[in-house]
Amino acid sequence: MSGKTRLLSESVIREMTRLSDRHGAINLSQGFPDFPAPARVKRAAVRAIEADFNQYAVTWGSPNLRRAIAEKAAWFNGIHCEPDKNITVTCGSTEALMASVMAIADRGDEVILLEPAYENYKPSVILAGGTPVPVPLGESFSVDEERLKSAFNGRTKLILVNTPHNPSGKVFGKKELGLIADLCEDYGAVAITDEIYEHILYDGRSHISLATLGDMAERTVTISGISKTYTATGWRVGYAIADETLTKALRKVHDFMTVCAPAPLQEAAAVALRSQKSFYIKLAETYQKKRDYISSQLKDIGFEFFRPEGSYYILADFGGLSSKDDRKFAYSMTVDCGVAVVPGSSFYSDPKLGRKQVRFSYSKKDSTLRKAAAKMKAFFG
Ligand code: PLP
């Protein structure tokens, strides 16, 4: 076992899904939907297989998909990029992130992580040989200006940003992103921004891509994918948009790591990305209703939490319901109550910060959420 892998533990999120499956619980732990992908997107995948898109795709991504990404990046994100120079299609945004960190961070380079953070970020930095520098978010999961300023220094190579945010549901605004942009420019650092939930925003909010601020286009890797927007987490199609120099570097890592993302599913992803604007409006409305429902149920039960502004998670404090720690509480929720959740400590480098928190994912059918709420109400009385 290498020194690097010894520093890693297994993914707690994926372990909770396995525990949930073993105990027949309702799985509100891992963030994947239990409802189908859009029919026209599924049909496009079938058509692509039948049309024999069954061999390796171009390593950087099928030209058709890269064109679709460029079109979408222009109208939705305000990022103007060239399919041949700036876009790399990867096996999910997970690989885009890993390939980018490996391409940019050298051994000992510092990589700032805003915590709580998606569980994959820190392992990506460790596997790349970088040094993770966790910076806790402040009140209501806002960027804490003083803490962030004091984390940046001459060794800072990268900062990982995620908006809309998993696990808190926070959406970063212009001021917070502007601060990150200024610090990146001052210290010559690069930002990797994970925007996988970019279409899931509530209460009329709009998504801001960090790459559109100031000169950030030249020092930002913008990552997204089809998993969340098109209910296709198992297809493993994601992408990274970056300037030509960064793209050249991350393409090398991608090439040797995975060669290419699944070829027929790339063709279907191109169809998905060319969805009508009404599709995205409906998506956000649907999730907003789910947020409203599960928020009111969790509040009634006695959980306390930040009301999500985007994404599809609630990071809830259960201190008023139990004296257990987060792992014991999540285990009991899964096995005794029948609703699987993720222990809060898995989102922090300092596990103490998540000891009284669990994360709920509400990317589920309304009927699943109703059943989960009924089970929790019966369990907590
Ligand atoms: N980024 C964040 C913030 C996530 O929450 C997830 C999945 O839960 C991913 C990336 C993984 O995305 P993909 O399926 O594109 O690898």
Q: Assess whether 86 and 235 both reside in one domain.
A: yes
Residue 247 sits in the same domain as residue 296 = no
Task: Name the nearest CA neighbour of 229 among 263, 275, 193.
Answer: 275
Which CATH number do you get for residue 313? 3.90.1150.10
In DSSP terms, 24 is beta-bridged to: none
pLDDT at residue 189, as a whole number: 98
Q: Does residue 150 carry a pLDDT above 90?
A: yes
Q: Are residues 117 and 189 in the same domain?
A: yes
Is 238 touching ligand 1 by the criterion CB < 6 Å?
A: yes
Residue 31 has pLDDT above 90, yes or no: no
Number of C-beta neighbours around residue 366 at 10 A: 14
pLDDT, tens digit, for every residue of 164-219?
Answer: 999 999 999 999 999 999 999 999 999 999 999 999 999 999 999 999 999 999 99
pLDDT of 93 > 90? The answer is: yes
pTM (2 d.p.): 0.96
> Helix (H, G, I), strand (E, B), or coil: what is residue 262?
coil
The tokens describing 256, both together, are 């040797």
Domain end among 273, 291, 323? 273
**Distance between CA 76 and CA 195 in Å, rounded?**
12
Query: Bridge-partner residues for 135, per DSSP?
Result: 114
- pLDDT of residue 8 exceeding 80, the answer is no
CA 10 – ligand 1 centroid, Å: 16
In CATH, what number is assigned to the domain containing residue 252?
3.40.640.10
Q: Where are the alpha helices (DSSP H) in the chain?
A: 3-6, 12-23, 39-50, 63-72, 83-86, 92-104, 121-127, 145-151, 174-187, 244-258, 263-273, 277-301, 326-332, 366-380
By most ligand atoms within 8 Å of CB, the mutation choice from 28, 94, 122, 171 for ligand 1 is 94
Q: What are the pLDDT digits (tens) for 225-240? A: 999 999 999 999 999 9
Residue 118 Cα to ligand 1 middle (Å): 8
Regarding whether 80 and 57 lie in a shared domain, the answer is: yes
Which atom number of ligand 1 is nearest to the Cα of residue 95?
A: 16
pLDDT over 80 at 3, yes or no: no
Report the separation in Å between the CA atom of 26 and the middle of ligand 1, taken as the mean of its atom positions. 21
Domain of 19? 3-30+278-380
Buried b (16+ CB within 10 A) or exposed e, 8-21: eeeebbebbbebbe
Atom of ligand 1 nearest to the CA of 162: 3
Q: Phi-psi category of 311—alpha, beta or left, where left has phi over 0 and alpha has psi -120 to 50?
A: left
Quote the Cα angle for 23-27-29, to 5°: 115
Tell me: do 128 and 255 sit in the same domain.
yes
Compute, in angstroms, the gap from residue 107 CA to the centroid of ligand 1.
Answer: 25
* Span 63-87, pLDDT tens digits: 999 999 999 999 999 999 999 999 9
- Cis link prior to 134 (omega < 30° from 0)? no
227 lines ligand 1 (CB under 6 A): yes
Average pLDDT value for residue range 130-158: 97
9, 94: one domain = no
Number of domains into which the chain is organized: 2
Verify whether ligand 1 is closer than 6 Å to residue 118 (CB atom).
yes
Ligand 1 atom, smallest distance to 13 CA = 8
Q: How far apart are CA 292 and CA 272, in angstroms?
A: 27
Is residue 92 within 6 Å of ligand 1 at its C-beta? yes
Domain boundary among 242, 273, 304: 273
Domain boundary among 230, 257, 273: 273
- Using pLDDT thresholds of 50, 70 and 90, give the confidence band for residue 19: confident
Using the mean position of ligand 1's atoms as its centre, give its distance from the Cα of residue 361 in Å: 13
Average pLDDT over residues 242-250: 98
Instruction: Name, in order, each residue with C-beta under 8 angstroms of 277's C-beta and a sequence gap of 6 or more.
Output: none
**Mean pLDDT across the chain:** 96
Q: Is 134 in the pocket of ligand 1 (CB under 6 A)?
A: no
Let me know whether 169 and 119 are in one domain.
yes
pLDDT on residue 266: 98
Among 366, 370, 368, 348, CA closest to 357 = 348
Interatomic CA distance for residues 362 and 369, integer angstroms: 7
**234 in the same domain as 128:** yes
Assess whether the C-beta atom of 11 lies below 6 angstroms from ligand 1.
no
328 shares its domain with 346: yes
